[in-house]
Structure 1
Amino acid sequence: MKTIAFLLTVFFSVSSVAYAQKAEIYQNKDKFGIKQGDKTLVKAQYEAMEFLEEGFFAFKKKGKCGVITKSGTIVIPDAYDGVKSYGNGLFLVKDGKAWGLVDRTNKLVLPISYTSFKFVNDHLCEVKSQGKFGLINKYGEIVIPAQYEGVAPFNDTFFLIEKGGKSGLIDDNGKVVVEAQYDGFDKIADKDLYNVRLGNKIGLMTAEGQVLLDPVYDNIEDDACIGMKLTENGKIGFYTKTRRLVAPVYSRVLFYQPELGLVVVEEGGKFGVVTSRGTVTPSAYENISRFSPRGIAFVEKSGKLMAINSEGREMILQEIMGAGNQPPQ
């Protein structure tokens, strides 16, 4: 029994080695063929050969290229100036200076009119035709026609396109998400938002391609208390956390109170309040104190002392004091 087991082990070991042998190119004088171990699969008869992918080899005969299987079956005739593997059962074929795609039956999948192919991820390939760029998928299907001056990955969802010197966004299904009418997009650090540039003005866009603010502002910066701070022609405004636009009409920020999510601003020499919730108290007060933890501030209006809450409601003394409470500190 031990002898039989030993012989079986030797047999399967030898078989495994033989099975593991790969078909490879060999040379005889100035010609090339294919061998697998000591067995000749394709006799040396070609001017050049190159491995393309498992079971397929490019060959050259009389200056023209084709594709042959390791068993010697010609699947792509020697009618091209170059052949490369594209993957997924497709081959790049060259005619003159242009490339196209054929399948394993030599059926044309993509016209021979492209000058470059460059994969940008696992399933999309950038192509160039007549100086314009587009995208095809891994199956050779056109996703974005070659009609743009540039196509480049933008984020996990979109591609940046350039047309007429302007930039836009397109998804990986070829749908235009943002028309090519801007000068560029810049990611805002630590936020899922982008600045949209047009000339020397900027706007605001979500990562989904929704333009929240048209590019009419001189500056947009993160404001941890309110949302985003806007500057236009020397005036200050806000885009709140609730996505409400507060027009830039303020000359300065007097102070912030992050614990209450509000900012006191000045307009025309008087003070008002903007909150992160999007409420705006008109600038009607000559003076204003800081807000108490209860959200109440003393203000001066037309020479009279009064109080307002953080939502801008003017309050009478009884409301401020409460049932025996002390004035806010």
Structure 2
Amino acid sequence: MGCLSEDLAVVQKNSKYGFIDKTGEIVIPVQYDLTWDFAEGLAKVKQEGEWGYIDKTGMVVVPIYYDDMESFLVGDLVLVKQNDKYGLIDNIGRIVAPVQYDDIWSFLDDTIRVQQDGKYGFLDTTGRVIVPIRYDEVWSFSEDLALVKQNGKYGYVDKTGKVVIPIQYDDARHFEDGTASVLLNKERLLIDRTGKAFISIEYGWLGNFSEDLAFIEQNGKYGYVDRTGKVVIPFEYDIAWSFSKSLAKVQQNGKHGFIDKTGKVVVPIEYDDIYDFKNGLALVKQNNKYGFVDKTGKVVIPIQYDFAWGFSDGLAGVKQNGKWGFIDKSGNMVMPAIYDIVQSFETGNTLVILNGETFYIDKTGKRLD
């Protein structure tokens, strides 16, 4: 028997699957070759090699017809596959986009990237083509503009499919903070959303702006410039990352740390690896052990664990002697290291594996059945 999902659990008998309720009563007959848990009132089921969806009464709402199908991509849309082609249907089985594409991807902004006959474009959630399927490559929209490639050159289109910045660049990056880094005739430029170049720099690599600073490379070293092109943090790092919440991760001589926007080192550049701050603490690695530092660089949780996850919901998974447990932000072990595998907490619970059994626990360690 599987775990309860939306008050129903998968049950198996004689290599067939169905569903039972909390009392153990079979509410959907054990007749399917394979089933997935219920999500948003529907479950994916397989019968005689084909897939469809049923509701919680067992009624088939998406015909058991397709070679394969995936969970909802955007809203109520489902990706379906038939004869090596892809399309989209809604949650009652109506065709939204014909099963004619070589591949389909969804993005968080409700645009859907499609491939057909080796070319790429975008659909909206009604299945309408909004960016013609004629580009050699397209990337997700960022600040309402998508980077596209055609005949070896790069440019930008909007969500109506209009080319708003000409396809003329030898290299280009996504827009961030209203700017994008491009290469034109061996010159690295920063352009705004109209395509106007406002910084021309002779350096090898120029990142996009984040918090008014962009990392930049010169002769294999990285520093930072402001929006006028002035170097405000010297070229002394082997690798640099964008600023976030006034801090940037940097690497120097194989070690990692954080600097602020003045270039001051706030977390010493002495760690083998360092991760983004979560819940005010950053996970660090040193000599194959893991611990946590705060934004002043102070080690607040000793570097003693074999592995660890970042903090989420105020707790972090840590591994010791081959087993996982959870600590709080003070470093107190609030759940003993007894689990084989754990995930990070989200909305008060997480999935764990103990002695080969998979189940959810709450933040007190109580098992949720």
- Distance across 2 between alignment mates of 1:113 and 1:68: 25
Q: Offset at 1:197?
A: 2.7
- Distance across 2 between alignment mates of 1:79 and 1:187: 39
Q: Paired residue for 2:30? A: 44
The share of aligned pairs that are identical, in percent, is 27
Q: Offset at 1:72?
A: 1.1
Match of 2:13 among 18, 28, 36: 28
- Distance across 2 between alignment mates of 1:155 and 1:208: 14
Q: Which is worse superposed, 157-166 or 109-118?
A: 109-118
Residue 154 and residue 185 in structure 1: after superposition, are their counterparts in 2 closer, same or farther (change >3 A)?
farther
In the TM superposition, what are the counterparts of 1:234-249 in structure 2 within 5 Å? none
Q: Look up the SS of the partner of 2:27 in the other structure.
A: strand
- Give the root-mean-square deviation of aligned CA atoms: 3.6
Unaligned runs of 5+ in 1: 1-18, 215-219, 225-329
Q: Look up the SS of the partner of 2:63 in the other structure.
A: strand
- Distance across 1 between alignment mates of 2:27 and 2:81: 27
In the TM superposition, what are the counterparts of 1:1-329 in structure 2 within 5 Å? 22-37=7-22, 38-51=24-37, 53-86=39-72, 87-153=74-140, 155-185=142-172, 193-194=179-180, 196-201=182-187, 205-210=191-196
User: Do the aligned residues in 2 keep the contact of 1:169 with 1:209 (CA within 8 Å)?
Assistant: no
**Higher helix proportion (structure 1 or 2):** 1
User: Do the aligned residues in 1 keep the contact of 2:178 with 2:193 (CA within 8 Å)?
Assistant: yes
Q: Offset at 1:34?
A: 1.8
Which protein shows a greater Rg?
Answer: 1
Q: Offset at 1:185?
A: 3.3
Write out the 4+ residue segments of structure 1 that deviate beyond 6 Å after TM superposition: 186-189
Q: Offset at 1:109?
A: 0.6
- Distance across 2 between alignment mates of 1:186 and 1:145: 21
- Distance across 2 between alignment mates of 1:119 and 1:93: 13
User: Do the aligned residues in 1 keep the contact of 2:5 with 2:37 (CA within 8 Å)?
Assistant: no
- Distance across 2 between alignment mates of 1:188 and 1:117: 23
Q: Offset at 1:155?
A: 3.9
User: Do the aligned residues in 2 keep the contact of 1:134 with 1:146 (CA within 8 Å)?
Assistant: yes
Q: Which is worse superposed, 27-36 or 204-213?
A: 204-213
Residue 211 and residue 111 in structure 1: after superposition, are their counterparts in 2 closer, same or farther (change >3 A)?
farther
- Distance across 2 between alignment mates of 1:146 and 1:188: 22
Residue 195 and residue 44 in structure 1: after superposition, are their counterparts in 2 closer, same or farther (change >3 A)?
closer
Q: Offset at 1:222?
A: 5.3
- Distance across 2 between alignment mates of 1:42 and 1:166: 55
**TM-score in terms of structure 1 length:** 0.52
Unaligned runs of 5+ in 2: 201-227, 233-369
Residue 186 and residue 56 in structure 1: after superposition, are their counterparts in 2 closer, same or farther (change >3 A)?
closer
- Distance across 1 between alignment mates of 2:40 and 2:77: 13
Q: Paired residue for 1:14? A: none
Q: Offset at 1:71?
A: 0.6
Q: Count how many residue pairs are aligned between Structure 1 and Structure 2.
A: 202
Q: Offset at 1:184?
A: 2.3
Q: Look up the SS of the partner of 2:37 in the other structure.
A: strand
Q: Look up the SS of the partner of 1:53 in the other structure.
A: coil
